[in-house]
Amino acid sequence: MITVTLPTKKYDVKIEMGLGRKIGETVKEVWSKRKVIVVTDEQVGDLYLHTTINELKKADFDVITATVPVGEKSKSLKFVGEIIETMADNGFTRGDGVIALGGGVVGDLSGTVASLYMRGIAFIQIATSLTAMVDSSVGGKTAVNLGKVKNIIGSFYQPDLVIIDPIFLNSLSERNLVEGYGEVVKCSALEGGDFFDLTGKINKVDDILSNAPDLIERSVNFKANVVMKDEKESNLRRILNFGHTLGHAIELLADGKLMHGEAVAIGMVTISQCFEKTGVTPASVTSAIQTRLESVGLPTSSNLIGTDAFFDHLKNDKKNDHGTLNLVALKNIGEPIIVPTKLTEMPEFVSGLTVK
């Protein structure tokens, strides 16, 4: 168990094999009897919603559900409004709660709903994807998209509890498992040391599953330590955006054909190649990251990089500070730095890296 302690909030991230079969009693440890809405998507719902409802009901919770389509398009104001309307119709008050059962999309959507309903009600994350387990369920970032602008509407809203059962990973497709591993490699490159050595031993997809508890705990521990030092991303937390500035742009341009972790993998390698040219990042660092990603089949390049639409998307990036992007570079493994770069300089910065 990892405890996240912030100035106005303290919560646990529980990581345990089989915890998915004890959801009711685990939630009851932090919440009193109340109404809860379990938000999930169609895919996760088919697998785990029935069991989750039964577990919560056995613990005396009054349960309703909301199921959204699979995919990034569910992170929208449309579904925020529909879920909030369902809660209002069922008489939810500030004393009730929202439970996210799913991956990153469901967690972001549910957190946004919880932060907005009656100006904020209790929220719990049950992470079922590797991306959610190692990244999006921890730290309190909640957001939805607007049109083709990613994560533009949201807030920092911390959960009361995060539940992680690595057994959930067994039901993921290979692609869904592997894309989450992109975020693991990111954390390991930022931390360095034994963690980066561990990802260097992951040579095939099966290695992700066999090392899942350790990979998850190390990733969560790293992120939690960063978040505890900088909850609202005013300084240190910016390093967690390594690979994300370029990754988010191509993720949106791919229009569903690239998953988040795949786009971040491309973003990490691309940004490192760019900083090789400026003498910030050694070629050995880029190569080490690229090898870890490609060993499990993650993409590391895209012909979307360098297009006019690509640069246009960078303007809407949350890290755009009056025309300057705060890019994350690695001076070495375990040594991230922030490099402010003007938007007008980005075409030259990425020149020569576009895949023809």
Q: Which residue has the higher pLDDT, 149 or 73?
A: 73
Q: What percent of the chain is modeled with pLDDT above 90? A: 85
135, 105 Cβ separation under 8 angstroms: no
Q: How confident is the prediction for the chain on average, in pLDDT?
A: 94
pLDDT in tens, 273-289: 999 999 999 999 999 99
350, 270 Cβ separation under 8 angstroms: yes
pLDDT score at 297: 96
pLDDT in tens, 300-320: 999 999 899 999 888 777 667
Show the CA angle centred on residue 316, arms to residues 310 and 71, nearest 5°. 75
Confidence of residue 120 (pLDDT cuts 50, 70, 90): very high
Show the CA angle centred on residue 113, arms to residues 106 and 154, nearest 5°. 85
Which residues carry a binding-site annotation for NAD(+)? 104-108, 128-129, 141, 150
With a cut of 80, say whether residue 139 has pLDDT above it: yes
The average pLDDT across 18-41 equals 97
Which residues carry a binding-site annotation for Zn(2+)? 183, 244, 260
Which amino acid, residue 315?
K
The average pLDDT across 317-324 equals 76
pLDDT score at 355: 42
The average pLDDT across 131-156 equals 90
198, 46 Cβ separation under 8 angstroms: no
Strand-pair partners of 124: 99, 161
With a cut of 90, say whether residue 150 has pLDDT above it: no
pTM exceeds 0.95, yes or no? no
Identify which of 39, 72, 232 has the alpha carbon closest to the alpha carbon of residue 145: 72
The average pLDDT across 168-188 equals 96
pLDDT score at 353: 63
Which residues carry a binding-site annotation? 104-108, 128-129, 141, 150, 183, 244, 260
pLDDT in tens, 210-242: 999 999 999 999 999 999 998 888 788 899 999
Regarding beta strands 62-68 and 122-127, do their DSSP bridges make them parallel or antiparallel, or are they unpaired? unpaired
Confidence of residue 151 (pLDDT cuts 50, 70, 90): confident
Q: Which domains does the chain have, with CATH numbers?
A: 2-170 (3.40.50.1970), 174-350 (1.20.1090.10)
Confidence of residue 328 (pLDDT cuts 50, 70, 90): very high
Taking the CB of residue 152, how many other CB atoms lie within 10 A of it?
Answer: 14
| Token pair for 151 | 């994560």
**For the stretch 179-213, what's the b/e string if a residue is b when 16 or more beta carbons lie within 10 angstroms of its beta carbon?**
bbbbbbbbbbbbbeeebbeebeebeeeebbeebbe
